[in-house]
C-alpha cells in the first residue's frame, strides 16, 4: 500500500533536477511517485507500494499494464520493422489496422489518416474539414464546439474547445470558434436553437464534439438523442461533423464507440488513447469517401500536406492490432458489462446522497460530482480527494470536485468494490 508517498527517492531527486511534468505546478507539487513496474490494474512504486490504476493511466490502458499478448506482438514487430517513413511507403501493420478499424467504426468511414496522439488526431480532423471547403472553393471557415469541451493542447485543438481557463494565456492566438451548450437531458431544444442560429449565418465549416461525455470538462454525461438532432441539423446545412472519440473510443461508454449510440453518424472520427491498449502513442482520423475525394486532383496543393515523423509507426500499429484482438473477445465484452453493472448498482444506491450533486454512469465510466459552492477544475477539494485515494493505494485523479472511475477492463469485481468502499468513506465524512 502507499505508505511512503512523501519520501523522496533518488529517482525522484533526479527527476526534479531535469523534468518538467504535464499539468503540474512544479513550484508546489509534491514529489512524483516513482513507478518501477506495472502489471494488470496495478502500478508498483520504487518503495514497494502499489496503486490500483482506476483511471487507466490517463484513460489509455484497456486490458491492464504489460499485457503479455500486446508485449509479444510489439516485440515481434520490433525484430522485423521498427519504423519507416510513411510518405511513399507503406507496411502491413498500418494497412491491416486501417482496414480493421474501418470495419468496426460507426458511419461510412472509408479512409484512415494516422498521427501521433489525441491532439494531433483532432488537428488533422480540423485541418481536413477546413481544407475540404477550401478545395471546393466554398467560403466556410468557422468551427462550432460545445461549451466546456476539451480536444487537446495543441493550438488547433485548444481553439476548437473555445476560450477557457486552461487556454487563457493563448486566447489572443486561438482562432475564433462558436460554442453551443451540450444537449444535456431536457435541454436538447436549447442546444438545437443555438446551433440553428449560428448555422443560419452560413460560413460554418464543421462542428466538433465529444460524443455522450465531455471528459476533461468534468465527465458530463448527456443522452444521444439531442446530439443526433444536432448532427442532422449540421447535415441539412452542409456542415461537416467531427466526433472526437479520443476518450470515448474502444468500449468506454458501453458500445465500442460512443457514436454507435447516436443515430446520425459523423463525417470524421478522431481516435487515440485506448487505440494501442495504452502501450504506444498513436492517433487516427477517419473520414468518409466524400471528404477524401475532395483532396484528389492533379496538383499537390490540393493534397493534404500534413504528416508527422512517426506517422503510422509499425510498433504502435502492431500494438493497436493486438489491442483489437483482445478488445473484441467475448471475455473483454463480459468484463465491460460487469464494470457497467457494478457502476450502475453503485449509482442506484448513492445518487441521492446529500453530499453528491450528481452520481451517474455510462458504460465503464462512473462520475460523481460532490456538492460544493463553485464546481470547477480548480476546486481545492480536488487535492484532498486525490491524496486521500493515493493514501489508500488507489489512483483516481479528480477533475476539481468531480471524481470518476475509468478503469482498465481487467479490473476485478472485488477491486471495484474496494474503490466504492473508499468513496463511501468520503461520503461519510472521512475526507
Rounded to whole angstroms, how far apart are CA atoms 393 and 50? 6
User: How far apart are CB 28 and ligand PLP at their closest, in Å?
Assistant: 23
Beta bridge partner(s), residue 45? 35
Rounded to whole angstroms, how far apart are CA atoms 385 and 243? 31
Question: Is 117 a residue that touches ligand PLP (CB under 6 A)?
Answer: yes
Stretch that binds ligand PLP, among 23-31, 78-86, 177-185, 242-250 (CB under 6 A): 242-250
Q: Which long-range contacts (CB under 8 A, 24 or more apart) does 383-387 make?
A: 384/431, 385/426, 385/431
Stretch that binds ligand PLP, among 47-55, 107-115, 145-153, 234-242 (CB under 6 A): 145-153
Among 53, 123, 244, 267, binds ligand PLP (CB under 6 A): 244
Nearer to ligand PLP, 107 or 217 (CB): 217
Interactions with ligand PLP, residue window 172-211 (CB under 6 A): 210
Among 86, 113, 150, 389, binds ligand PLP (CB under 6 A): 150
CB atoms within 10 A of CB 424: 14
User: How far apart are CB 354 and ligand PLP at their closest, in Å?
Assistant: 31
Q: Torsion angle of alpha carbons 396, 400, 403, 407, nearest 10°? A: -40
Give the residue nearest to ligand PLP (CB).
118
Rounded to whole angstroms, how far apart are CA atoms 431 and 428? 8
Question: Is 215 a residue that touches ligand PLP (CB under 6 A)?
Answer: yes
DSSP labels, 223-277: -HHHHHHHHHHHHHTT-EEEEE-TTTTTTTTSSSSGGGGSSSPPSEEEE-GGGGT
Nearer to ligand PLP, 53 or 244 (CB): 244
The residue count for binding ligand PLP (CB under 6 A) is 14
Nearer to ligand PLP, 70 or 208 (CB): 208
Stretch that binds ligand PLP, among 132-140, 243-251, 328-336, 369-377 (CB under 6 A): 243-251
Q: Which element (helix H / strand E) includes 333?
A: helix 330-350
User: How far apart are CB 284 and ligand PLP at their closest, in Å?
Assistant: 12
Distance of CA 26 to the CA centre of its chain: 25
Among 118, 183, 249, 408, binds ligand PLP (CB under 6 A): 118
Rounded to whole angstroms, how far apart are CA atoms 263 and 266? 10
Residue 277 near residue 61 (C-beta atoms within 8 A): yes
Interactions with ligand PLP, residue window 306-335 (CB under 6 A): none
Among 50, 77, 228, 272, binds ligand PLP (CB under 6 A): 272
Among 65, 151, 229, 422, binds ligand PLP (CB under 6 A): 151
Interactions with ligand PLP, residue window 358-397 (CB under 6 A): none
Nearer to ligand PLP, 93 or 218 (CB): 218
Q: In what order do the strands lie in the sheet with 394-395?
A: 35-39, 42-45, 50-53, 394-395
User: How far apart are CB 215 and ligand PLP at their closest, in Å?
Assistant: 4
Q: Give residues with Cβ within 8 angstroms of 375, minimum separation 6.
A: 218, 357, 369, 400, 401, 402
List of residues contacting ligand PLP (CB under 6 A): 117-119, 122, 150-152, 210, 215-216, 244, 246-247, 272
Amino acid at each position: 500500500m502507499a505508505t511512503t508517498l512523501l519520501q523522496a527517492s533518488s529517482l525522484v531527486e533526479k527527476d526534479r533536477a531535469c523534468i518538467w511534468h504535464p499539468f503540474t505546478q512544479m513550484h508546489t507539487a509534491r514529489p512524483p511517485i516513482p513507478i518501477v513496474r506495472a502489471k494488470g490494474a496495478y502500478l508498483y512504486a520504487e518503495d514497494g507500494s502499489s496503486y490500483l490504476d482506476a483511471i487507466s493511466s490517463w484513460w489509455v490502458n484497456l486490458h491492464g499494464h504489460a499485457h503479455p499478448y500486446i508485449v509479444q506482438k510489439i516485440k515481434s514487430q520490433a525484430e522485423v520493422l521498427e519504423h519507416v517513413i510513411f510518405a511513399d511507403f507503406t507496411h502491413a501493420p498500418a494497412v491491416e489496422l486501417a482496414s480493421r478499424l474501418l470495419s468496426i467504426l460507426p458511419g461510412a468511414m472509408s479512409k484512415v489518416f494516422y498521427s501521433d496522439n489525441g491532439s494531433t488526431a483532432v488537428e488533422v480532423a480540423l485541418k481536413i474539414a477546413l481544407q475540404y471547403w477550401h478545395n471546393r472553393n466554398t467560403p466556410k471557415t468557422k468551427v462550432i464546439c460545445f461549451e466546456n469541451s476539451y480536444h487537446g493542447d495543441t493550438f488547433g485543438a485548444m481553439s476548437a474547445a473555445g476560450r477557457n481557463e486552461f487556454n487563457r494565456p493563448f486566447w489572443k492566438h486561438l482562432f475564433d470558434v462558436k460554442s453551443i451548450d451540450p444537449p444535456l437531458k431536457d435541454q436538447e431544444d436549447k442546444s438545437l436553437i443555438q446551433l440553428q442560429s449560428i448555422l443560419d449565418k452560413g460560413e460554418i465549416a464543421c462542428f466538433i464534439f465529444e460524443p455522450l461525455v465531455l471528459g476533461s470538462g468534468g465527465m458530463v454525461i448527456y443522452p444521444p438523442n439531442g446530439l443526433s438532432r444536432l448532427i442532422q441539423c449540421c447535415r441539412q446545412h452542409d456542415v461537416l461533423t467531427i466526433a472526437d472519440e479520443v476518450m470515448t473510443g474502444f468500449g468506454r461508454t458501453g458500445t465500442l464507440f460512443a457514436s454507435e449510440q447516436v443515430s446520425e453518424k459523423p463525417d470524421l472520427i478522431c481516435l487515440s488513447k485506448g487505440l494501442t491498449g495504452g502501450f504506444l502513442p498513436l492517433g487516427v482520423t477517419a473520414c468518409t469517401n466524400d471528404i477524401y475525394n475532395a483532396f484528389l486532383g492533379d496538383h499537390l496543393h490540393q493534397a493534404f500536406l500534413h504528416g508527422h515523423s512517426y506517422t503510422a509507426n509499425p510498433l504502435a500499429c502492431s500494438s493497436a492490432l493486438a489491442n483489437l484482438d483482445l478488445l473484441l473477445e467475448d471475455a473483454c465484452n463480459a468484463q465491460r458489462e460487469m464494470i457497467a453493472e457494478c457502476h450502475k448498482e453503485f449509482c442506484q444506491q448513492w445518487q441521492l446522497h446529500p453530499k453528491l450533486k450528481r452520481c451517474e454512469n455510462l458504460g465503464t465510466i462512473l462520475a460523481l460530482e460532490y456538492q460544493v459552492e463553485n464546481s470547477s477544475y480548480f476546486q481545492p477539494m480536488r487535492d484532498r480527494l486525490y491524496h486521500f485515494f493515493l493514501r489508500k493505494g488507489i489512483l483516481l485523479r479528480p477533475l476539481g470536485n468531480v471524481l470518476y472511475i475509468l478503469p482498465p477492463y481487467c479490473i476485478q469485481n472485488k477491486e471495484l468494490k474496494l474503490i466504492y468502499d473508499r468513496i463511501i468513506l468520503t461520503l461519510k465524512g472521512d475526507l
